[in-house]
Structures are given as structure tokens and as C-alpha cells.
Amino acid sequence: MTSEYSDTTETRQAIIEACLSMQAAGVNQGVSGNISLRTTEGMLITPSGLDYDKMQADMLVLMPLDGTPIRPGQMKPSSEWQFHRDILLAKPGEMAVVHAHPVYCTALAMNRQPIPACHYMVAAFGGNDIPVADYALFGSQALSDQVLHALKHRSGCLMANHGAVVTGDTLARALWRMVELETLAKGYVTSLSIGTPKVLNAGQMTEVKKAFADYGLKTT
């Protein structure tokens, strides 16, 4: 079930709390993470380069999704606003986008190594692996294009030499997915250090996806 959000102080506060919980969960490094949320008024996105513990509700930036300029007097949006906006435009069922540089996701992204179906939770990202978006400069339209390509049938991907991005039909779901993705990355990296992880086959993953659908989890 998709939630509708509107640009209220409560919604803005929920985004700040999501940023702080990303910090508490250890999936964010410094000010590199950013969160956006689709509201009826446009995309609400965290500002550029601001510590989460200094963030106030009125510092979040409201950006129209139709390409019209942002209302003047607002802070500068996250430097990654382009892929946030493009993902929300491309995926009308998704409400939230979370981006961060969690250590294990980033380690795999440095090696440009996707996460195979080495754990059933990989299916919670919509497919049989978690792909790596090709490299492009941070904050560029080219990066947005690569991320969008990797997320075509997925709700999360790694980003080459950069980090990770996930989506959710609610803010809580997107946040949960980022923590889950880092947990999977950590498990995968650890399993590589002690042997060769066994990968679930396509039939087993189809079974998991069906079970998730029965459970009500939207995976893409």
C-alpha cells in the first residue's frame, strides 16, 4: 500500500529522523547520505553538506518534479538531487529514495562487484542480484542515467566507486532497505573471506519472491 505524503512540518521532521536513524544504524558516513521523499507539492530533499544533527525542518528543500525552478530562499539541495528526482519520476509507485556510502556496500562498489543471490533477502530488491550502476561523476546527469538503468527492475543498487541507493514505497521502507542492503553487503564480503558463498538458484529465488508478494512486500 502506497502512502501519500504532503509537505508538512511532520513530514519534514520524519525525513530528519530518518537521516538520524541512518546515522545510528551506521550506514551513513558524515554528510554523504541524502534522502528524498515524494510529496503532493514536489520532492522534499535534504540540503547539501549539512550535519544531520543541525538539520531543521525548514532547511529541507522542496523541488518541483516537473523541472521548474525551486522556490527562492531555500538552501542548496543535495548535490545528488538529479538521481533522486529522476528515480521518483521514473518510478511513480516509489515515494522515497535513500542514498549513502555504507562501508561494505562501498567496498563492493569499489570492486564493481554485484551481490549475487547468496542470501534470500536479495529478492527484497526485486531480482536475483543487486547490480552495480556504472561509474559517473557524482552529482552528474550521467550518474543519474546509470543509476536509473541499474534500478530498472530493482529497488536498490550499488554505485561504482561511490556507494548505494535504494527506494521504497514509504520512507520507512526505503530506510529499512538501506540497512538491509548494508547487512547483505557485510554478509557477502565476510562470506568471501571464509570461502565461496553458495548462490540460490533461479527457482529458489522465484519461490522467495512469491513468498514476499504473499507477505505484502513490494520489491520493485
Residues that bind Zn ion (CB under 5 A): 163
Tell me whether residue 138 or residue 176 sits nearer to Zn ion (CB atom): 138
Closest CB to Zn ion: residue number: 163
Cα–Cα distance measured from residue 201 to residue 180, given in angstroms and rounded to the nearest whole number? 21
The two counts, helices (H) then strands (E), for the chain are 6, 7
Tell me whether residue 12 or residue 84 sits nearer to Zn ion (CB atom): 84
CA-closest candidate to residue 121, choices 165, 156, 160: 156
User: Least distance from C-beta 80 to Zn ion, angstroms?
Assistant: 6
Known active-site residue 4? no
Tell me whether residue 163 or residue 168 sits nearer to Zn ion (CB atom): 163
Under 8 Å between Cβ of 89 and 58: no
User: Least distance from C-beta 163 to Zn ion, angstroms?
Assistant: 5
Under 8 Å between Cβ of 153 and 126: yes
Tell me whether residue 28 or residue 39 sits nearer to Zn ion (CB atom): 28
Which residue of the set 4, 17, 41, 80 is catalytic? 80
How big is the chain, counted in residues?
220
Under 8 Å between Cβ of 132 and 158: yes
Cα–Cα distance measured from residue 72 to residue 88, given in angstroms and rounded to the nearest whole number? 22
Side chain identity, residue 161: N
Residues with a catalytic annotation lie at 80
